Amino acid sequence: MNDKAIIQIDRVVRRFGDFKALDEVSVDIREGEFFSLLGPSGCGKTTLLRLIAGFDEPTSGAIRIDGQGMVGVPPNRRPTNMVFQNYAIFPHLTVEENVAYGLRRLRLDKQEKQRRVQQALDQVDLGHLGKRRSNEVSGGQRQRVALARALIMRPKVLLLDEPLSALDKKLREQMQVELRHLQRQVGITFILVTHDQEEALTMSDRIAVMFGGQIAQCDRPEAIYQQPHSRQVAEFIGGMNFLEAALLRQGEDTIEVDVAGFGRAELKKPAGKAFNGGPLTIGARPERLTLLYGEDPGQTRVVPGEVLEASYYGDMTYYAIAIQAVEKPVTVSMRNTIGRRSLQAGEKVEIGWSPESLVPLT
Amino acid sequence: MKLRPLTIYAVAYLAFLYVPVLFLPVFSFNDSSIVAFPLKGITTQWYSELWHNDTMLGALWNSIKVGGATAVISTILGICAARALTRYDFRGQRSMAALIMLPLVLPEIIVAVSLLVVLLQLGFSLSLVSVTLGHILMAVPFSIAVLTSSFEGFDRSLEEASLDLGEGPVATFFRVTLPIVAPGILSSLLITFTISLDEFIVAFFLSGTEPTLPVYIWSQLRFTARLPHVLALGSMLLLMSIILLSVAEVMRQRAARRAGTSPSGGLV
């Protein structure tokens, strides 16, 4: 991966009648990175992908791939290839013929063609299924056929439109790892459209979170998760407690706040962000808080509370804790490691926290 | 296996349906011009005599012309309608579809009489053209029904995938669209041809001085001596219809499978 932008999206607008599917979207996608467009359905992520592929044209704005303007260039002349949501495997062709489909225009000799098809099939572990009819292979295998068919074209950018959504959970997790591995191996830029936040977090180098036709935040997965810029982003990705707070003091790098139920804290200020004097929302991830019952808190600050409800997830248990001065119960997750007992509803506990547990949102 | 009432019913039903039809080929090989048991002996006389009957050959040729024209035109119309019904959503789509399919259940004699009245009022003379027009009217609903099942599952992203893989729109049509819907089109051609070939009432009203095969058969029924010829001709017509419809159904199933839907439903 380097910093060179392979795709530049420049103030792109796409209207459908009165509806703005994309509203002045600008983003640079770097060469060789695994980039995800994440958002709920209708946020414009698929529209943006289709604009990059050339199936649709922007109402205004520009798309450049490798420095070349793409407006008016049809999909068959773009250095991109797509893995469709339903894979779009040609039903009248065999697996091999599907994979070789795009090679016809390259006018390769027979041996070279055969070599590239075999290489592409091997790349996705389908070497033994080449002669099968394409409607005789399973869902996971169809997905691999679609991948091989696109990768054989050696595109500059591979576009993936929710490629894993049709697979069951186990297979999906396996394919996530494989896709990531494949991307590192071939070194091509991958752009993944997904509504699954977990998928985006585990696979991507960078994620653009989209809402209502705009990119709300574009950053590394860790930054998106730990420092969401807005309540909307925080809510969409993972669980988050929202606490009301008053701004006491605003410094260069820090702000001092008074958080309802938790008390005063000095928090790191997100880069380039200014708060107006009014009330603000503070976010706290369930796993950034802890529960204490009887042990010495040491350096940790504590808030007394009471267990309302425990939800058991196997490796984790999520507790809803009622505390003073906060209307909604605070969710705290605990790993079920050795020696930790499960708490029952009604037990008195203390929520342990530190300023790093809290993220100021707008 | 025990003889259950439903089994008996089913066997009786099938016998009632097909035994009379089976008499047709049986008597067509009977060496007697009287249609009655016992059979006298086996002959192919009636079949060979048919080939020297110019009126019959003329009627056959008429039927093939009408059938061919009906098949091509109603399939083209069917392609347009099936594509519109499966790919787009527009106002009045459902009622439009219902109206197009209506001739399936309309009494043929009503269609035939009204066509006759309209054509005469408009000053058309009756000819094979008027028969063809009537047959198209009857065949289009069948064509739509067959084609819809192969278009319904046609996934638009297949065409997009082809474009994405570097093929232009023309190559995409020939490499993806056509191969996937071709069996459906062939099936529609065969079915509409068969419908036209077998159709009597409309042809009887609209054919004027040029009879089609079924009209010719009807005219021959008045002459007892010619009955064995009619039986021979009927047997051949029957065989041809069965073959054409079987091929059509195989094609339709293949089309539906290619388009990725289950090959249920269908006409035959």
Domain end marker among A197, A232, A267: A232
Whether residue A256 is found in the same domain as residue A177? no
For chain A, say whether B165 makes contact (Cβ under 8 Å).
Answer: yes
| Alpha carbon distance B10, A313 (integer Å) | 58
Chain mean pLDDT for chain B: 83
Mean pLDDT (chain A, rounded): 89
CATH number at A331 reads 2.40.50.140
What is the CATH number for A10? 3.40.50.300
A226 and A249 share one domain: no
Number of domains observed in the structure of chain A: 2
Per-residue confidence at A2, pLDDT binned at 50, 70, 90?
low
**Percent of chain B having pLDDT more than 70?**
92
Least confident of A33-37, A170-174, A319-323, B39-43: B39-43
Contact state of A74 with B180 under an 8 Å Cβ cutoff:
no
Whether residue A88 and residue B160 make contact (CB cut-off 8 A), yes or no, is yes
Nearest by CB to B180, from A53, A82, A91: name it: A91
- Using CB atoms, pick whichever of B155, B164, B258 lies closest to residue A92: B258
Q: Quick one: A178 and A284 in the same domain? A: no
Which one, of B260, B8, B72, B33, lies nearest residue B149 by Cα?
A: B260
For residue B259, give how far its alpha carbon lies from the nearest alpha carbon of chain A (Å).
Answer: 7
Mean pLDDT of A323-338: 90
pLDDT at residue B252 in the model: 73
Domain assignment of residue B57, yes or no: no
Question: Which three-class secondary structure state does DSSP give residue B264?
Answer: coil
Higher model confidence: residue A101 or residue A272? Answer: A101
Cβ atoms B116, B223 nearer than 8 A? no
Least confident of A51-65, A214-228, B74-88: B74-88
Q: For residues A28 and A5, give the distance between their C-alpha atoms in angstroms, rounded to a whole number.
A: 6
Give me the pLDDT at residue B265, please. 47
By the CB < 8 Å criterion, does B251 face chain A? no
pTM over 0.80: no
The three state secondary structure string of chain A is CCCCEEEEEEEEEEEECCEEEEEEEEEEEECCCEEEEECCCCCCHHHHHHHHHCCCCCCEEEEEECCEECCCCCHHHCCEEEECCCCCCCCCCEHHHHHHHHHHHHCCCHHHHHHHHHHHHHHCCCHHHCCCEHHHCCHHHHHHHHHHHHHCCCCCEEEEECCCCCCCHHHHHHHHHHHHHHHHHHCCEEEEEECCHHHHHHHCCEEEEEECCEEEEEECHHHHHHCCCCHHHHHHCCCCEEEEEEEEEECCCEEEEEECCCEEEEEECCCCCCCCCCEEEEEECHHHCEEECCCCCCCCEEEEEEEEEEEECCCEEEEEEEECCCCCCEEEEEECCCCCCCCCCCCEEEEEECHHHEEEEC
How far A142 CA sits from the closest chain B CA (Å)? 13
pLDDT reading at B156 higher than 90? no
CB–CB of A75 and B164 under 8 A?
A: yes
* A254 in the same domain as A224: no
Give residue B258's pLDDT.
Answer: 63
- Domain end call among A192, A214, A232: A232
Residue B268 has pLDDT above 50, yes or no: no
pLDDT the model gives residue B88: 76
What is the count of structural domains for chain B? 1
Q: What is the pLDDT of residue A53?
A: 94
Does the beta carbon of A211 lie under 8 angstroms from any beta carbon of chain B? Answer: no
Give yes or no for residue B33 having a pLDDT over 80: no
Q: Is B168 on the interface with A (CB under 8 A)?
A: yes
Rg of the Cα atoms in chain B: 22
Among A239, A238, A243, smallest CA distance to A259 is for A243
- Assess A149–B contact: CB distance below 8 Å, yes or no: yes
B267 occurs within a structural domain: no
- Phi, psi (rounded to 5 degrees) for B134: -60, -40
Q: Structural domain of residue B189, as residue ranges? A: 65-205+236-258
DSSP state of B53: -
Q: Where residue B75 sits, what CATH number does that domain have?
A: 1.10.3720.10
Same domain? A181 vs A245: no
* Claim to verify: residue A243 and residue A282 sit in the same structural domain: yes
Residues A119 and A254 in one domain: no
Which chain A residues in 23-62 lie under 8 Å from chain B, judged by CB atoms?
53-55
| Same-domain check for residues A207 and A315 | no
Domain holding A257, by residue range, is 239-361
**What pLDDT sits at residue B267?**
46
What letter represents residue A218's amino acid?
C
Q: Do A76 and B163 touch (CB under 8 A)?
A: yes
* Span A47-99, pLDDT tens digits: 999 999 999 999 999 999 998 899 889 999 999 999 998 899 998 889 999 99
Q: Is the pLDDT of residue A1 over 60?
A: no
Instruction: Give the ranges where chain B is alpha helix by DSSP (H).
Output: 5-28, 45-50, 54-87, 93-101, 108-121, 128-152, 156-164, 169-172, 178-198, 201-206, 213-220, 227-258
**A55 and A164 co-located in one domain:** yes
Residue A351 binned pLDDT confidence (cut-offs 50, 70, 90): very high
Residue B87 lies in a domain: yes
ipTM higher than the 0.90 cut: no
Binding-face residues of A in 153-182 toward B, CB within 8 A: 153
Assess whether pLDDT exceeds 70 at residue B262.
Answer: no
Asked whether residue B161 is domain-assigned, the answer is yes
Do the chains contact at B167 and A104, CB–CB below 8 Å?
yes
pLDDT tens digits, A253-287: 888 999 988 989 888 887 777 777 778 889 999 99
- The answer as to whether B168 is a domain residue is yes
Asked if the Cβ–Cβ distance from A102 to B165 is below 8 Å, we say yes
Whether the CB of A82 is below 8 Å from some CB of chain B: the reply is yes
Let me know if residue B33 belongs to a domain.
Answer: no
The backbone torsions φ and ψ at residue B109, rounded to the nearest 5 degrees and listed phi first, read -65, -35
Condensed to tens digits (0 to 9), the pLDDT of residues A162-174 reads 988 878 888 888 8
Residues A143, B240: Cα–Cα separation, whole Å: 45
Residues A284 and A345 in one domain: yes
Whether residue B92 is predicted with pLDDT greater than 60 in this model: the reply is yes
Categorize the per-residue pLDDT at B256 as very low, low, confident or very high, splitting at 50, 70 and 90. low
Buried b (16+ CB within 10 A) or exposed e, B150-159: bbbbbbebbb
Q: 3-state DSSP call for residue B176?
A: helix
Domain boundary residue, one of A182, A208, A232: A232
Sorting pLDDT into bands at 50, 70 and 90, what band is B260?
A: low
User: Residue A122 and residue A117: Cα distance in Å, rounded?
Assistant: 9
Regarding whether A295 and A317 lie in a shared domain, the answer is yes
pLDDT in tens, A281-320: 899 999 999 998 877 777 788 899 999 999 999 889 999 9
- For residues A174 and A313, membership in a common domain is answered with no
Q: A55 and B163: CB-CB below 8 Å?
A: yes
Amino acid A225: pLDDT: 92
Contact A101 B260 (CB under 8 A): no
